[in-house]
Amino acid sequence: MKFKIMKLLVVFVGVIAFVSSSAFAQDSVVKEFSGSGGKNTRPFTVKDGWEIQWDAKGDIFQLFLYTANGDMVGVPANQQGSGKGSSYQAKGGQYYLQVNAIGNWAIKVVQIGGQSSSVKEDKNKPKKTSSEIATFSGSGGKNTRPFTTTGPWEIQWDAKGDIFQLFLYTANGDMVGVPANQQG
C-alpha cells in the first residue's frame, strides 16, 4: 500500500494540542512592532510560509491580519491575559496588522527558513516518544507551523478549557478537516 507524503498545518482554538513538528532553521525576522493599546502597523511583505510571534503583557491582546489593500484575512491572536504566542501563515504577500490590546505588546513577523535535520533539545520539555512527530501547546487560537507525515497517523490532545477546536490544513492553506470540536 502506498502512502502519500503530506505536509500539514494544524490550527487549534483551545488550550493544548499534541501533534507533530520538526526543528526549523534559518528563520529571519522581517519586521518588528511594539506598543501599548491599539495600533495599525505599516505594511510588510513576506513570502509563502511565515509566522507572527507575539509577547503580550496586558489583559487583552487581539491581532487582525489584513492584506495591504484592506481585506481582512483572519484573526491570528485573540487572548485574555499576558502571554506569548505564534501563528503560522501559509500564503505570502503584502499585509498589515491591526492590534487591539490593553497593555504592552511586542510582535515579530518571521519568514520561515525551512526544516532542519538537527533537533534542539529543550531540557524543560518531556522527551518525545519514537513515534511522536511533534508537540504543540498553547492557550487561545494558534496556527502551528507545518509538519510532514507519511502513512497512517493520529492526532492526540489534552484540552483543559471550555472549548477546543482543531482544524487541519495542508501547508498551502487548504482545509482537510476538523479532527476536534468539543466543549469542556
Domain with CATH 2.60.120.380 in the chain: 28-111
Strands (E), the chain: 6-17, 28-36, 39-40, 44-46, 50-56, 60-67, 72-80, 83-89, 93-102, 104-111, 136-143, 147-149, 163-170, 175-183
What is the reported pLDDT for 25?
A: 57
Least confident piece of the model among 1-10, 98-107, 140-149, 150-159: 1-10
What is the reported pLDDT for 157?
A: 78
Torsions phi, psi of 64, nearest 5?
-115, 135
CATH fold of the domain at 28-111:
Jelly Rolls (2.60.120)
Instruction: Give 32-64 pLDDT, tens digit per residue.
Output: 999 999 999 999 999 999 999 999 999 999 999
What is the reported pLDDT for 7?
A: 45
Helices (H), ranges, 34-182: none
pTM score of the predicted model? 0.64
d(CA 77, CA 14): 12
